Amino acid sequence: MRTAGLTMNDVWAHRVLRERGVETYRLAGVTAELGVMVESLELRHRCKEENYRPYLHITGELRSVTPAKALPFGISQVTYAPGQGEKVDAFYAFDDQQLAVLVSKGYFASGFAVPEQVTGIEWELPATTDMLVLAPSGAQIEGDAPVVFTQVHGIGGLEINLESSGYDLASYFADHSMNGAPRTESTVDARGLKARSDAINSLFTEAELGLDTDAEQIVGGPVPEAAPVVGGMSARLQQIEAEIAVERKQYQTERASTEGTTENLYWERVAVPLHRAEAPQEMPFPPPVQVREARLVRKLDLDLEQEEQEQETRRREVETALSLEERKRQVAQRAAGLDMGEDDGEQSLGS
């Protein structure tokens, strides 16, 4: 008999367990086959400790549970409606022979992919379940059936393989050995072979490999060593650093001696007062020689400029005074000329 099932985490399962006087059957560790509607299939790899061994991650929805032996009341299968079953996650592990088949089908090729024809169908996967069967009522009403609650062990991480599931999934992969270049294809030159020759233990002898003499000469020939330049390079770097430090010091000194620059303002208004505040018992730190010389030159320039201005002022004053005296003299001469003219007129009139 087939009957619809409920999950063990359903609220009614707890009520049945608490109810007294109800006929129930509890079954633990029941071997069963799960009917899983596979929704997706993904190729993944395990961790480094397991050499990145490939495996398949299968996801789907639980549709049925078929126990190996019939349950009480003749129940042979428990079914679930679409959308009512639990989520199933299974991990399919390949054995060594299956991995060899995958490699022969182009596992390392760029076009290798998981098969699509295995999704959208129902799979039968092995599992272990716990079941709780609630007997029908004693009145034996027509249509009354037992209720089954199920709990699948490890439903979120079922470990399966060819032996346990009976599915040889390696045979479903398409052959991509001739499509595209292998992912691990690379060119190895003589230097790479020489560098790794000591770390590789070849499975074949040189005679079996059939290497030609040219390749042997290239690989086995001495590799020219580069001239030691570490010491010379270090000395040159130190020399360049010293030159840069001297130039930086000169530049800072010039900036500090130039009035109006940020360094000059910092030296005069911040560094010197700060030094005085930190060490008042000592003499104030004298400015650099360049600063003192610049100040002296500036002071001399100011004095000369002031002296020139004073001389210019005195010259203008003298010129002004001279011009005033000259104008007075000219006015006096004109006045005298006018007086003499009047006298002559009078004399001419009198005569």
**What's the pLDDT score for residue 326?**
77
Alpha-carbon span 126 to 93, nearest angstrom = 14
Q: Look at the block and give the residue holding tokens 């292998």.
A: 182
Q: What is the CB-side half-sphere exposure of residue 232 using CA atoms within 13 A?
A: 3
Q: How many other CB atoms are found less than 10 A from the CB of residue 170?
A: 20
pLDDT at res. 190: 40
d(Cα 106, Cα 72) in Å, to the nearest integer?
A: 51
Give me the pLDDT at residue 288, please: 59
Report the amino acid identity of residue 230: V
pTM here? 0.48
The pLDDT, as a whole number, for residue 89 is: 95
pLDDT digits (tens, 9 = 90+) for 206-219: 555 555 555 445 55
- Give the pLDDT of residue 122: 92
237-272 residue pLDDT tens: 788 888 888 888 888 888 877 877 777 777 777 777
pLDDT for 64? 93
Q: Is 36 exposed, middle or buried (0-12, 13-18, 19+ CB in 10 A)?
A: buried
Distance CA 348, CA 341 (A): 11
Question: At 157, is the pLDDT very low, low, confident or very high (cuts 50, 70, 90)?
Answer: very high
- The C-alpha atoms of residue 123 and residue 63 are separated, in whole angstroms, by 10
Rg (the chain; Cα; Å): 55
Give the phi and the psi of residue 44 in degrees, each rounded to 5: -130, 175
Residue 262 CB contacts under 8 Å (≥ 6 apart), including other chains: 255
Residue 289's pLDDT is: 59
Strand, coil or helix: what is 166?
Answer: coil
- Asked if pLDDT for residue 2 goes beyond 70, the answer is yes
Residue 53 CA: distances (Å) to CA of 9, 11, 93, 289: 35, 42, 9, 76
Q: Residue 278 phi/psi, 5° resolution? A: -75, -35
Answer with the residue of higher pLDDT: 189 or 204: 204
Average the pLDDT over each of 39-48, 51-60, 82-91, 232-241 and give the range with the smallest value: 232-241
Q: Report residue 159's pLDDT band, with 50, 70 and 90 as the boundaries.
A: very high
How are beta strands 147-152 and 158-161 bridged, if at all? Answer: unpaired
pLDDT at 200: 47
Instruction: Kindly state the average pLDDT of the residues 317-328.
Output: 73
Question: Residues, the chain, total?
Answer: 351
CA distances from 12 to 17, 18, 25, 147 (A): 9, 10, 15, 10
Element containing residue 242 per DSSP (H, E): helix 230-257
- Largest CA-CA distance found in the chain, in angstroms, rounded: 184
Instruction: Compute the distance between CA of residue 252 and CA of residue 256 in angstroms, rounded to an integer.
Output: 6
Q: Can you give the pLDDT at residue 193?
A: 40
